[in-house]
């Protein structure tokens, strides 16, 4: 979920960065902050998506042998 949001916002911010006006760049010390943050967010989002795809987290299987077995009352 987080990876998807970062990727989506990164794409949107990167596209917006291509249309940043010179006045907006001047406010950020002549750095196209929208473009750079968009690219960074896109990379972070893709990293999260790839990480989730390659190594999905699975909860450990419960061990219900011996004394770990839940007690059932009749």
Query: What are the domain boundaries of the chain?
Result: 2-54
Q: How far is CA 10 from CA 5, 35, 57, 71, in A?
A: 8, 9, 25, 51
- pLDDT attached to residue 6: 93
Each residue's pLDDT expressed in tens, for the chain with a length of 74 residues:
888 999 999 999 999 999 988 888 888 888 889 899 999 999 999 999 998 888 867 777 877 665 655 666 66
Phi-psi category of 62—alpha, beta or left, where left has phi over 0 and alpha has psi -120 to 50?
beta
Rounded to an integer, what distance in angstroms lies between the CA atom of residue 60 and that of residue 51?
19
Residues 6+ apart with CB under 8 A from 62: 68
């Amino acid at each position: 979920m987080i990876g998807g949001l970062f990727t989506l916002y990164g794409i949107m911010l990167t596209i917006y960065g291509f249309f940043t006006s010179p006045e907006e760049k001047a406010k950020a010390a002549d750095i196209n902050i929208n473009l750079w943050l968009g690219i960074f967010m896109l990379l972070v989002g893709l990293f999260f998506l790839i990480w989730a795809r390659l190594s999905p987290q699975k909860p450990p299987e419960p061990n219900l042998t011996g004394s770990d077995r839940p007690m059932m009352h009749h």
